[in-house]
Amino acid sequence: MTPTEGARAPRPSERSIVEVAAGYLRALGYRTYRDVDGTDYFDLVARRGDEVGLIEGKVADARGVLLQAVRRRAWGNWVAVVLGSHRSAERLADRTAAGRAAPVGVWCVRDGCLSVVRAAAPWTGGEGPDPFLELRLRFRRILDSVDRGEMPPNVRWNDVNREVRRAAGGRGFSEWRLDESGSDRR
């Protein structure tokens, strides 16, 4: 047997799986933005009309990427994680089928093809107030500025938004909880 026979295919890079996810979303009519905030905080942002999706990619550490997705939920209508291992994606989807992480989509890229293991779902199902509406509207306005050419892509604006929000007495978006009622917001 030669050294390459029976050997595993090399693990894809995070950049390559995010690029495959971008192509998948563009085929569905989304406009995609990579590193839109200039800090690589958002791996990939997808927008179609008023709908904004966030995609976090990892080739290892499925639990870590899930935590990233849950932290970023305030900015998008939905969030998905994309992994480079189908087995890891299936296990992650099974472990998180209930609870706060259940709306997170779980995707897998293998050999350049994307498969949806679990579809992303909206964070709010229409019942009760939406605790993230203000932040999502702000994010859409930023994307509008990028689209109109008023803000160059990859400009560092993430930290500015967090500081402005804190200076106004509010909390950072990672501190918002999905189960908060509207009266808890500032």
The confidence band for 24, taking pLDDT boundaries of 50, 70 and 90, is: very high
How confident is residue 165, by pLDDT bands cut at 50, 70 and 90?
very low
Which residues fall within 8 angstroms of residue 169, CB to CB, at 6 or more apart? 186
Count H helices, E strands: the chain?
5, 6
What single-letter DSSP state applies at residue 184?
A: G
Of residues 63 and 144, the one with the higher pLDDT is: 144
Domain boundaries, the chain: 9-178
Quickly state the pLDDT bin for 19 (edges 50, 70, 90): very high
- Yes or no: say if 107 and 117 are a contact pair by the CB < 8 Å rule: yes
Q: What is the pLDDT of residue 186?
A: 34
Q: Which residues contact 93 (CB under 8 A, 6 or more apart)?
A: 106, 117, 118
The whole-model pTM stands at: 0.77
Nearest to 59 by CA among 81, 44, 41, 29: 81
